[in-house]
Structure 1
Amino acid sequence: MDIDDNIYGPRKNLTMEGLVTPDERFSRPASADTTQGNYNAMTQEQGHLNTTTDRDQLQTDYDSLTKEKEQLKSDYNSTIQQNEKLQTNYDNLIREKDLLQTRYDNVTKERGQFQDSYRTLTAERDQLQARYSSLSKVKDQVQNGYNSLITERDQLQTSFNNVTEEKDQLQASYNTLKRERDQLQTGYNVTQRERDALQTDRNTLTASKNQLQTNYNTLQREKNDLKTRFNTLTTNSNQLKSNYTTLKRDKDQLQSNYNTLTTSKNQLQTSYGTLRSEKDRLQTSYNTLRGEKEQLETNYNSSATRGNQLQKEIDKMNVKIRGMSCQTGWRKFEISCYYISAEKRNWTVSRQDCKSKGADLAVINSKEEQIFVNGLFESGTNAWIGMTDSITEGNWTWVDGTPVTTTYWQPGQPNSYSGNQDCGEMVHTSSKVGEWNDDGCFSEQVWICEK
């Protein structure tokens, strides 16, 4: 709003009408000047008066006039103080006016912002109108998308169940891996003991080698002794030579046995290395399986998160669709719009008419929807709905491809009379629920569209 400066009056230092005028503010009171003039005149007259009584009277009058002067001066000072107080109040009012002007400017800015927001919302409304028009044109696609989302929701539920089973399998695999780890630990302990046994065998072979060396040294000493005795025992030289040859063969045999033991030790060492490599390979496989398990858990969490996001998107889509109104001639129920024809056609032509309107024959998914559809037409009237078993006899499906699970068949129906009743119709009943019947697709009757 605009602030009217006239409310506070012009800046006149409170010299407004009814307060203090400039003459009153900067000059003495006129009554004081008159009193002073009277006093001067009486002073002059006093020179001419000789009587004491007149002088006393004049003195009394002068004192009264002096008191009046003081009183007027006090009133003047009081008026000056009131003037200053009013001036202060006026300044305060000016500041309040400036504050109100500032607030007004802020409110004006906010009004401009609200105006911009209004224009933005108007543009968004136009965009939403355009989107609504576009949605009206692709309503069939939205319906199909919704049906697909329902199917995807079921698939997601199935996937969730599968993922739950996979989680149980992963848990079982984890337990199996844990048992295999324990077995590997046991194998490692066995290998450790075998290594200790090999070390013991090595020490044994080393002792045997030292023993052979000792035996060799002993044989060398015996050889030297025999050679010494050879000079004295010529007759026994051949025998000693034979014994020497035998001993040499025994030494060679011992050397051969030693080499065989060394080869066996190397083979055992190679086997130990192979076992260690096998253990490392198993450890690597275990780590790989653990990584795959963690990856599967991550994929499961991602799938669960995606499923929740899809569910939220479905919920948002349902809210948006519920907020939309149906076009003229259509009836609203939950997220769908329904249309009942005024003329009668066979089932195939009826469905073509629904498709031309961006819809399809009604698909009933709940008892509440069944009751609603039953209330769309009058008693004694049958109407085509979107179910058929024309593909497989006895296997009733909706036009969106989903199987018919919850049913409201009349007693003894469907009976496929004469084997030529492959299309479903709604039979109006006074029970509010209504019933279903199978009939020949060539029959002509009203139909109910849904989008």
Structure 2
Amino acid sequence: MELMEIDDEEIYINKNLTMEGLINKDLQRKKKPCRCLTLCLGLLCAVLLAGNIGQFIYYEMISRPTSADPTHASYIQGDRLQSHDASTEERKQLEARLSNLTKERDQLQRSYNSLTTQRDEFKASLNNLKSERDQLQASYNDMHRNLEGLQTNHNNLTASKDQLQTNYSSLQRKKDELQTLFTTLRENRDQLQSNFSSLKNNKDQLQRSYNTLSINRNHLQISYNSLWKDKEVLQTSYNTLQRKIEQLQANYSSLATVRDQYKKKIDKIRGMPCQTGWRKFDISCYFVSTAKKNWTLSRQDCIARGADLVIIDSKDEQAFVNGLLKSGQNAWIGLTDSLKEGTWMWVDGTPVTTMFWQPGQPNSYNGNQDCGETVQKSPGVGDWNDDGCFSDQPAICEK
């Protein structure tokens, strides 16, 4: 029985020695601080400030009128130059504000790119931590396999112990020799026990390091989740600002169109008097063709004369056009819905805002009436009617 105790102690010491040797690896890692957290918060504040500035500019812009009332007194010839100057000043202010908003958008883009770079760095740090975790898992698996090998050796030694127990009677005479050997083994055991204690202390220290690394990893995960939420908030703010920029661009395009119209009218005011056979009204010259042609050929004839089919945008102009025609006469005007059925547009692409349709018109009779004509009426300012574009009749040109 004394021999069995010696064998058990030796097996236990060897087993623990092997296990402690397997896990004696350097697992210390340094914590990577979140150095960019302060920078990210600063960038978030800058983005929110830029959003507020963009919102202020947006509401400042939509509070201004974008078009003039066709019946307003600003259409009188004497006030048109003053309206043009005011429109030019507003356009310059809009361009300056658009330039500032563009700079703020570029600054926001740079901030967003910087934040994206920092997010990628945090992702790389997370991948490194996962790689280290996989290495620890591999080390643990190796240690587990070695433990199973030691368990197999232990089982083999147990079988040998049983065989030695069977042969105990024959080995009794060697007791003294074994006693000496036992003494030596006891000394070795004490030495191994000392080594074991040292290895155990190292293991405990490694365990504490591992726990610290695990806590640091959890902190990094929390920081990563917070940064991800901040990124989503920034993305939402960026999308909102982008939509505001697009709306401002649309407003700018509308103002540019109004500016071009004013410029065209001013050019007409400064132009030469109407040619022979043309009648002048306001800032335009009008001509009633004597030849009867369809709508397309009539427009080509007006273009050849340096004009186009008439565009009527006020009651006074409609009354003037009505006075150019004979009683009950019809004439083509620059009105059509050939591009989209039911959507009437002038030949310059502008929508119809002031209408003088006859009752029940336009009705697109038989689905083949895509061109507009004015019908002379006295007294009155005349009416519009839709007719087939193939009909031959006079036309009214305007330039």
TM over 0.5: no
TM-score normalized by the length of structure 2: 0.42
Larger Rg: 1
TM-score norm. by structure 1 comes to 0.38
Answer 1 or 2: higher relative contact order, Cα 8 Å, separation at least 6.
2
